[in-house]
């Protein structure tokens, strides 16, 4: 069996997903290839997806700007992806396209890999930002049993919308200023926006003056891996959680959906870190 996998999005020429999935294929002796399919904004999206279906592609990942658009082309969608309202992984089951979202659960897996007993402490979690990434992580955490998750965002309505996607547990909405002043109430603080990403690497979404020393500071930005936010948290004695590990675990869950194979991460985390740092 020779498998075709791929990624759709735009622009995605520099994506690390092909490298990650090639490592997974090697490890599991899966014969196949993972290809980049850039779809420009003015292309016939439906035709492009049908083209993939006809190629007998086994599965593909979906990234910006198509995580919501793809839903119209699917035959079915799983519950997690429906709750999030976005799909990052598609399985082709005999011509029927089924949508999943592995971003949220990938995030949770990466967090628990780094801090194995974190859930048992029933942590108070603060999400910074309320875009697509925050939506995925919020639902991933809630469906994994993390119940106390507050959201701080510049735009109140966007945070309120996320809260409505999952009503289990409790969630308060804060301004970014309130988040700064109440930071000592939180055990895990997750930065889900693009603030701090290359080239604006000296930007930081909130100050960490009130950070608890025992807290975990997490950033989904991975270019650079050590963002200003993480550096600041580390300087204050907090634990840190790096963004590239989410990329790795969302890919692992996608590979499992396509092939039923379990991946052993071994040193892949370090390998990816080295690759990102050149």
Q: Which of 13, 26, 67, 163 is catalytic?
A: 67
How open is the CA angle 77-86-10, to the nearest 5 degrees? 120
Ordered DSSP codes for 50-86: HHHHHTT--EEEE-TT-TTGGGGG-SEE-HHHHHHT-
Least gap, CB of 113 to ligand ATR (angstroms): 22
Least gap, CB of 133 to ligand ATR (angstroms): 4
The residues, any chain, with a CB within 8 Å of residue 97's CB and separated by 6 or more, are 49, 53, 73, 74, 75, 76, 90, 91
Report the SS3 class of residue 239.
strand
Q: Say whether residue 233 binds ligand ATR (CB under 6 A).
A: no
Q: Say whether residue 158 binds ligand ATR (CB under 6 A).
A: yes
CB of 173 or CB of 276, closer to ligand ATR:
173
Q: Angle 156-163/132-143 helices, nearest 10 degrees?
A: 30
Task: Count residues binding ligand ATR (CB under 6 A).
Answer: 14
Q: What does the alpha-carbon distance between residue 157 and residue 268 come to, in Å, rounded to a whole number?
A: 39
- Told to judge if 67 belongs to the known catalytic residues of this protein, a careful annotator would answer yes
Which window, 112-120, 152-160, 181-189, 228-236, contacts ligand ATR (CB under 6 A)? 152-160
Q: Which of residues 204-223 bind ligand ATR (CB under 6 A)?
A: 205
CB of 25 or CB of 230, closer to ligand ATR:
230
Which window, 1-9, 33-41, 74-82, 192-200, contacts ligand ATR (CB under 6 A)? 192-200
Of these, 55, 96, 154, 170, which contacts ligand ATR (CB under 6 A)? 154
Q: Say whether residue 129 binds ligand ATR (CB under 6 A).
A: yes
Paired residues of 97 in beta bridges: 92
Q: Are 5 and 58 in contact (CB under 8 A)?
A: yes
Q: Say whether residue 174 binds ligand ATR (CB under 6 A).
A: no
Least gap, CB of 6 to ligand ATR (angstroms): 21
Taking Cα atoms as reference points, which of 193, 174, 188, 175 lies closest to residue 135? 193
Least gap, CB of 136 to ligand ATR (angstroms): 8
Token pair recorded at residue 108 = 């949770």
Which are the catalytic amino acids? 67
Task: Give the binding site for ligand ATR (CB under 6 A).
Answer: 129-134, 153-155, 158, 193-195, 205
């Amino acid at each position: 069996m020779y498998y075709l996998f791929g990624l759709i999005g735009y622009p995605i020429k520099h994506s690390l997903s092909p490298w990650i999935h090639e490592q997974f294929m090697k490890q599991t002796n899966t014969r196949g290839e993972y290809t980049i399919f850039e779809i420009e904004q003015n292309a016939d999206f439906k035709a492009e997806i049908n083209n993939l279906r006809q190629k007998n592609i086994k599965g593909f990942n979906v990234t910006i700007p198509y995580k919501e658009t793809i839903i119209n082309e699917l035959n079915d969608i799983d519950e997690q992806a429906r709750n999030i309202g976005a799909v990052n992984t598609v399985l082709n089951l005999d011509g029927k396209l089924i949508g999943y979202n592995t971003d949220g659960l990938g995030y949770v897996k990466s967090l628990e890999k780094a801090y194995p007993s974190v859930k048992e402490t029933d942590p108070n979690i603060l999400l910074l930002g309320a875009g697509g990434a925050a939506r995925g992580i919020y639902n991933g955490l809630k469906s994994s049993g993390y119940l106390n998750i507050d959201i701080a965002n510049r735009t109140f309505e966007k945070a309120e919308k996320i809260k409505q996607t999952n009503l289990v547990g409790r969630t308060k909405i804060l301004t970014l200023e309130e988040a700064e002043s109440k930071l000592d109430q939180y055990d895990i603080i997750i930065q889900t926006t693009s603030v701090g990403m290359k080239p604006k690497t000296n930007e930081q979404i909130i100050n960490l003056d009130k950070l608890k020393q025992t807290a975990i500071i997490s950033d989904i930005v991975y270019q650079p891996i050590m963002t200003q936010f993480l550096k600041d948290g580390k300087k204050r004695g907090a634990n840190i959680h790096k963004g590239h590990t989410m990329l790795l675990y969302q890919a692992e869950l996608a590979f499992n959906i396509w092939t039923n194979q379990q991946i052993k991460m071994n040193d892949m985390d370090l390998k990816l870190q080295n690759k990102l740092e050149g």
